[in-house]
A and B are shown apart, each in its own frame.
Chain A
Amino acid sequence: MLTRDRVGGIALLLFAVAVIWEDRAFPLGSVTKPGPGYMPMLLASILAATAILVIWTGGRSPALTSLGWCEWRHVIAILAGCIFAALALERIGYRLTVIVLVGFLLWVVERKQPAVVVATALGLSLGTFYVFSTLLQVPLPLGPGDF
C-alpha cells in the first residue's frame, strides 16, 4: 500500500541517489584523508539508508489517499507570489513588489473589496519600507524613479 511514509521515503531515497550521482564531480579522497566529496557521499548514503528504513517501516502510516488537498489553490497562488517576489524585487523595487504581491493575494485569491485591497497593499508596502529602510537602515531595493 502507498502510505505517507513510503512516499516520503521514496522521495528521500531518490534525492540521496541524485546527490551521490552529482558528488562524482568532487574528489572523494580516502577514509583516512577525506576529500571534498567524502562527507556528502557519506551523508547521502546515511540518508539513503534511513530512507530505506522509513520505506520498510512505513506500512503502518496513513494511506496517501487519506491526505486532503483542499488548500491547493492557495498553495499555488502563495508560491507563485514568492516566485514573483524573487523575480521582481531587484527589478521593480521593494515597494512596487509588495503592492503587486499583496494586491494579487487579496484581490485575486481572497476576493476582498477593492478598498481593503488598496489600503492593505499600500499600508504594508509603505509601512514596512519605512520601518525597515528608513528607521532600521536595512537597505531595500528601489524601483523606477527611486520608488
Chain B
Amino acid sequence: MLETLQNLGSGFAIAASPGVLVYAFAGCVIGTLVGMLPGVGPLAGISLLLPASYGLNATTAIVMLAGIYYGAMYGGSTTSILMRIPGEAASVMTCIDGYAMTRKGRAGPALAIAAVGSYIAGTASVVGLMLLAPPLAAFALSFGPPEYVALLLLGLTVLAYMSGGSVPKSLAMAALGLLLGMIGIDPMSGYFRFSYGLVELGDGIGIVPVAVGLFGVSEILLTAGQAETPQVIKPKLRNLLPSREEWRDAAGPIGRGTVLGFLIGIVPGSAHIISSFVSYAVERRLSKHPERFGHGAVEGVAGPESANNSATSGALVPMLALGVPSGPIPAVMMAAMMVHGVSPGPMLIQQQPELFWGVIASMYVGNFVLLILNLPLVGLFVNLLRIPYPLLYPAILVFSVVGVYAVNGSVVDVWIMAVMGALGYLLRKLDFETAPIVLGLVLAPMLEMSLRQSLALSSGSYAVFVTRPIAATMLGIGLAVLLFSLRPLLTARADWRRKLGLEEAPIAGEEEKR
C-alpha cells in the first residue's frame, strides 16, 4: 500500500507538470465537445484526434487521449439532459429522466447531479484501477500463449453476450472483425494474405480507418439527410444547484452506480453502455417510488451517469494490466499507445512505471478539471449544438479524412475508411452491432499467434488448453457463457438482456420506419 502511494505521488509529480496538465485540460475540453456532438462518440473522437498526439511524448499523448475518453463520457450527458439527444450511446438512459427534469425546469440540478456523480464515480473508479491493475499484471506474468488464447476467446464470447443485439449477430460481427485481422503478412510463414497487390496492407488493416469508418462516417451517412437543428435549452449558472432532497435522493444511486460501473467495466463488452442500462434498472427496482422514473426522477440521472463514468476506468484495467482490450474504445486506446511505442500489458507497470502512474494521476486531475470546467461553461458548450448539421458534417468528414490519412500518410487508409463507412451504414441499417468488428480486428493477430505458439510448445497437442489450470478455467467459463447465451434461442425465453433492452424483442407487426 505504501509503495502504491509512493508511486502515485511520483505520478502526481508528472501529471501536475505544466506540459502534461495543459494536455489533460485540452483533452477534457475536446472530449466534452466530442461527446456532445451527435455522431462523434468517444471511439471516433479518439481515432480522429490520434494524429494530433503524434508530436507529443508517450505520457502526454496518453494523458490527452484519456482526457478525451472521459471528457466524451461527460459531454454525452449534457445533450441527453438538455435536448434528449444522447451525444454517445452510454447516455441513452440519461435522456429519459434527465430531459424530463429539463422540461420541469430542473435542467441545472440534473446537470449538476450528473457532473458530481461523474466526478465521484470517476475518482473512485481510478482508485479501483490503481489498486487492481498492478496485482492483476503481476498475476498475468505467469500467462503463456495457451492462457492468452483462452483469455481472448473468453473475452470475445463475453463481448458477444454483453453487446447490444442478438448473440449470433454479435458473434458473426466478431468473426468478421477477426477475419479482417487476417489481412497482411503472416508473421510465422511470411505469406502475404488477402492483399491483392496492395503493399500498404502488409501490416494489416489499421484500427483507426476501420473505427472512423464504422463509427464516424457511418453515423454521418445515417444522420446527414435527416437532421434538423434542434432547440437548445441554455441553463443559467445560478440555477445549477440541486435541492437538499435531490442531493439525498442522488447519493445512493451515485454509490451503487460507481461500484456497478467499475465491475461491469472490467468485463468485456460495451461496458459503459451496459453499465448505464443496468444501473437504471437497479435504481428503478430499488426505488420506493418507481412510478417517478421516466418523469424526472433524479435517481435515473445519478445512477447511469455515475455508472458509465466508473466503467470508463474499469475498462482500462484489462487493457493496462493484461494488454487485452475489453471493448472497442480500449482497443483504440491500446492502438494509440502502440503508435507511441508503448506496449500495454503485464510488463508496462514494471518497465514504464512513470507512464502508468502518470496516467493514473492525470485521471484524478482530469476528473477534477471536468467538474470545475464543465458546469460553469455548460452554457458556452451548448452553443456548439446550434451549428446546423448540414454545416457540421462536412467538417467532421474533413477531420475524418485528415485523421485517417495522417496515421500512415497513405490514401489506402482513406479508401478503407470509405469502405468501412459504407459497411457500417448498411450493418447499422440492418441492426447489426459494429463494435465487435473493431475488437476482433485488434485481437486477431494476437489470437492467431498465441494459438500457433501454443501448438508449437505442445508439439501439436490441444491438450495444452485443458491441462493448464488457468487456461482450462477461462475456456470453461467461456464455454458456459456461450451455452448460456445461446439458451434463449432454443427455449425462446426472454433473458435479462431483453429485459434491459439490449436485445430486440420479437415484433408483432411492422416496425416504424427508421
Contact = CB atoms under 8 A, between A and B. Distances in A.
B205 interface: no
A87 B405 CA distance: 12
B225 A73 contact: yes
A57 B489 contact: yes
A139 interface: yes
B455 A79 contact: no
A81 B52 contact: no
Nearest to A7: B430
B411 A90 contact: yes
Nearest to B183: A40
B446 to A, nearest CB: 12
B472 interface: no
Contact of B394 (A54, A73, A102): A102
B481 interface: no
A115 interface: no
A81 to B, nearest CB: 7
B477 interface: no
A79 B422 contact: yes
Nearest to B406: A138
Given A22-B194, A71-B225, A66 B510 contact: yes
A105 interface: yes
A96 interface: no
**Residue from B168, B414, B447, B511 with most neighbouring chain A CB atoms (10 Å):** B168
Contacts of A83: 415, 418
A47 B391 contact: no
Contacts of B466: none
B44 interface: no
A106 B54 contact: no
Interface in B383-397: 390-391, 393-395, 397
A132 B51 contact: yes
A85 B193 CA distance: 27
A132 B407 CA distance: 12
Contacts of B391: 106, 110, 112, 116, 120
A54 B433 CA distance: 13
A25 to B, nearest CB: 8
B405 A75 contact: no
A5 B430 contact: yes
Contacts of B504: 61
Interface string B187-226: 0110101100000000000000000000001001111111
B421 interface: yes
Interface in A1-40: 4-5, 7-9, 12, 15, 19, 22, 26-27, 30-37, 39-40
A32 B455 contact: yes
Interface residues of A, number: 74
B172 to A, nearest CB: 4
Given A5-B430, A39-B182, A54 B168 contact: yes
B258 interface: no
Interface residues of B, number: 72
A50 B414 CA distance: 30
Nearest to B186: A36
Contacts of A85: 401, 414
Interface in A72-88: 72-75, 78-79, 81-83, 85-87
Interface stretch (B104-112, B173-181, B348-356): B173-181
B138 to A, nearest CB: 31
A86 B55 contact: no
**Residues of A contacting B: mostly:** helix
B507 A71 contact: no
B435 to A, nearest CB: 16
Contacts of A4: 429-431
Contacts of B398: 98, 101-102, 124-125, 128
B166 to A, nearest CB: 7
Given A7-B430, A81-B397, A39 B448 contact: yes
A79 B179 contact: no
A89 interface: yes
Interface in A94-127: 94, 97-98, 101-102, 105-106, 110, 112, 116, 120, 124-125
Contacts of A26: 186, 191, 193
Given A60-B507, A86-B418, A101-B397, A53 B168 contact: yes
A86 B411 CA distance: 5
Given A5-B430, A124-B398, A82 B510 contact: no
Contacts of B376: none
A63 B510 contact: yes
A106 B390 contact: yes
B317 interface: no
Contacts of A8: 169, 427, 430-432
A12 B176 contact: yes
A8 B189 CA distance: 34
A61 B221 CA distance: 23
B17 interface: no
A78 B179 contact: no
Contacts of B226: 70-71
A40 B460 CA distance: 19
6 contacts: A15-B176, A61-B507, A68-B513, A78-B217, A89-B414, A128-B402
The 4 closest A-B pairs by CB, nearest first: A32-B460, A71-B225, A82-B418, A74-B225
Given A75-B225, A87-B411, 16 more contacts: A4-B431, A12-B172, A15-B176, A27-B191, A40-B193, A61-B507, A70-B226, A78-B224, A78-B421, A89-B405, A101-B401, A102-B394, A102-B398, A124-B394, A136-B51, A137-B55
Interface of A: 4-5, 7-9, 12, 15, 19, 22, 26-27, 30-37, 39-40, 43-44, 46-47, 50-51, 53-54, 57, 60-63, 66-68, 70-75, 78-79, 81-83, 85-87, 89-90, 94, 97-98, 101-102, 105-106, 110, 112, 116, 120, 124-125, 128, 131-132, 136-140
